[in-house]
Structure 1
């Protein structure tokens, strides 16, 4: 068990380092591409990706997670899962190629049709990749996964920038999606060195399908809830408004997701080994929440406080309307992160049916709030999106605490500490931006310095110092080279 903890910690260290690199690549591509493309270009690709995202959940059907969490996965089961993902990906690719005009009609934009057809091949590529990547996760090859993720981001960004410079417009963004998926497929195939056998009957697959199906249903509901804002904006307010919203969303959520999502591949196999040790599991969850939430909080709070100059520096001219959206998105990112450990618990205890019921409730809440918020335009949608997550976080703790050994009170206390520090840092950063006038980069630097000073000052509070000590323990374990 001690060896498992060290492997998980080393995996976390490698993953965090890789995610920092990915965030750097993505931020650089955002800065460059925002100056080469228009909000309308981003609006068109966002319309397509709303549809593609739903298809991606269906294409995976929860089978990757089912494979990762399975304690014993036979060669025949693994091969059957591979062919299932590939078949579904092929069907979805064909459906989007044929149905692209319907996507264009949904948004009232003919220029959506060719872009949808360009991106359709992503379904097929990702279908081939799904079980290869799952195998790397099962074997705890976090370094390999990290290298693949960073490499695909770099190649995709380079291709997009070159095509944008050549005047490809939104086609550059479509090519970026396809390139990333292709690079991941090739790299995973080389690393796995595995050739699936032919599909076989009589293989025990029922439990894998049952878990994956319930998980996929909840993931579809989550995706609809997370993207109802883009759907409403795209259909009611047009591509320019959607482009502004999408850039604000991607500017904040993409780096946060890159930090947050891979932690599941580390936490899930570790938690699966702790299900029979509830006390150790609870301690792991509390520290994991702090280690995940505090770094996200620092970035989110600084961005909330300096959204105006940060948007001007990162996106350039023509994106002024994104600043208030960035503030709401940063707040939402932190609230989502606080609830993330609950998602791990659903998975590790196999509570996919319970997760589905909870998700349907929260999605309904989000849809109602977003549709109502759209009355006040794109900013109203962003505010409604944030309000929904503010309600979902405590609801998630209360819901799950009744069904699993979740340390609800300790998680809630830690989360309140994070939110309190975040509010203090954001206010200080915003106050700093009011002290100087001039170039946006200078205002941004002063705001960041004020926020950093506030973060240092808050360490005088004993409870926050204890939180920081827990985070340091996790970080030290992550960078340890002991074996």
Structure 2
């Protein structure tokens, strides 16, 4: 595979342009696809009951747990590797086929056990059908890694759009036809299948699996370390539903799980695409001898500028937003949404920390933070669940900041970035959100109590958005200009300057 140099001269124009192009396609198409999904989700939520979502959430704990072990990290090892040929690709393909075949079999085997744990026989039937998802993973994971290695995200973006349309139409059709919870089951299966087909064609995946794994030690060790990290991430991300599933009824669990889904839309749907671009970009920068600190600092500020007003705004307007968007039968989840939204900016920063370590081969740091996350969140949820859904919200308030502090303590020294510089990057969005909150509280106090919820929502959202933008423009105009310049792809310092020259003879493996 041909290599390309990331030189000092290329960084601001060549490399920076490739990164921005990748972000535009990966994040831009994700945004469009998410709007399609949101539109169908809002309609489906109105057609289904909270108990349907509670039942689906019970099955999703096991599906998600196995899905994190699907071997995607073996494919990711191709991005970080120095050299990749047909043999390495075939070996990863074989690992993916073996891993996902075993996961599908395990899900079929343990479906009755999971149903017995929750006391809901219907969960077993859901799990048996959802095992089909694992058959699509090898044909999605491997093409994704091959394209990401070259920072080629156009095909992925197109695949995301088409699969989102298929999944949305499936969910809408089944929900409208009265299939209940099965609308939630078959929609992702349709989406995964379509995406796998398109991605395989786009990446020209005409390679045979190589089951002789001789010489694949580095790929397996790197992928195995990330898989182990994902195992602990399972504990962190699924322990709340797992623990609450036996204590809450399906109505309570449905309210909490849907509130969590709503608040994780930005961090769960829009931040991972950034990481998919950041991982190969950071890996190329690292191979070229550059410090990742300035790039990570800029990424944190950019992410917080976007997600902070969204989440704080949602926390401030949750009662009206839930009533208008989801309807009156979902208003009980408004306090849960408000509580979870407050802490989600911290989770956004937490998520974007992982590529800085994995791209440089320091997966042990990622493993340490994953273990810490599992311990902190599982313990917090175990204690908080005794106090109902709000107890789980309070567990998030404790777990998220503790885990972020631990993660930054390990990550920042590795990328030569001080805590002071990182805090300085976070001050503009934090201060603007604080002023925005004061403005929203003030407008709410002035509004009549008998006006429609939609009018209140528009007034509060408008006041908040105007205040946030105004504070940034007045107090930090350079931050706004920098963000606009990046969006317009101007080469005027689009990326922070390199910390040092490229070592002689150092080349990268990403093809232009």
Name the counterpart of 1:270.
281
Distance 1:348 1:422 in 2: 32
Distance 2:134 2:189 in 1: 9
Shift of 1:137: 1.3
Name the counterpart of 1:154.
165
Name the counterpart of 2:467.
454
Name the counterpart of 2:357.
346
CA RMSD of aligned residues (A): 2.2
Shift of 1:259: 1.3
Contact 1:11-1:478 within 8 A present in 2 as well: no
Alignment of 1:195-344 (within 5 A): 195-201=206-212, 203-275=214-286, 281-344=292-355
Note closer, same or farther for the CA distance 1:127–1:478 as it changes in structure 2 (3 Å cut): farther
Q: Which moved more, 1:58-67 or 1:214-223?
A: 58-67
Shift of 1:182: 0.6
Name the counterpart of 1:87.
98
Name the counterpart of 1:395.
406
Contact 1:278-1:405 within 8 A present in 2 as well: no
Contact 1:8-1:266 within 8 A present in 2 as well: yes
Shift of 1:30: 2.1
Distance 1:276 1:186 in 2: 33
Q: Any idea what SS the aligned residue of 2:286 has?
A: coil
Distance 2:386 2:213 in 1: 55
Q: What is the TM-score normalised by the length of structure 1?
A: 0.94
Q: Which moved more, 1:416-425 or 1:303-312?
A: 416-425
Shift of 1:198: 4.1
- Which of 462, 480, 483 is the equivalent residue of 1:471? 483
Shift of 1:465: 2.9
Distance 1:426 1:42 in 2: 32
Distance 2:212 2:55 in 1: 43
Contact 1:88-1:127 within 8 A present in 2 as well: no
Instruction: Name stretches of at least 5 consecutive residues in structure 1 with no aligned partner.
Output: none
Name the counterpart of 1:120.
131
Q: Deviations over 1:132-176 (max 9, x none)?
A: 221121222211111111221121011111001111000110001
Q: Deviations over 1:44-98 (max 9, x none)?
A: 1111111111111211252122112223111111011112111211111122122
Note closer, same or farther for the CA distance 1:423–1:338 as it changes in structure 2 (3 Å cut): farther
* Higher fraction of helix: 1
Note closer, same or farther for the CA distance 1:354–1:338 as it changes in structure 2 (3 Å cut): closer
Q: Which moved more, 1:187-196 or 1:169-178?
A: 187-196
Name the counterpart of 2:201.
190
Q: Which moved more, 1:262-271 or 1:14-23?
A: 14-23
Q: Deviations over 1:358-380 (max 9, x none)?
A: 22123211111111111210111
Name the counterpart of 2:78.
67
Shift of 1:430: 4.3
Q: Deviations over 1:376-398 (max 9, x none)?
A: 10111022123211222222211
Note closer, same or farther for the CA distance 1:202–1:387 as it changes in structure 2 (3 Å cut): closer
The count of corresponding residues between Structure 1 and Structure 2 is: 481
Contact 2:139-2:200 within 8 A present in 1 as well: no
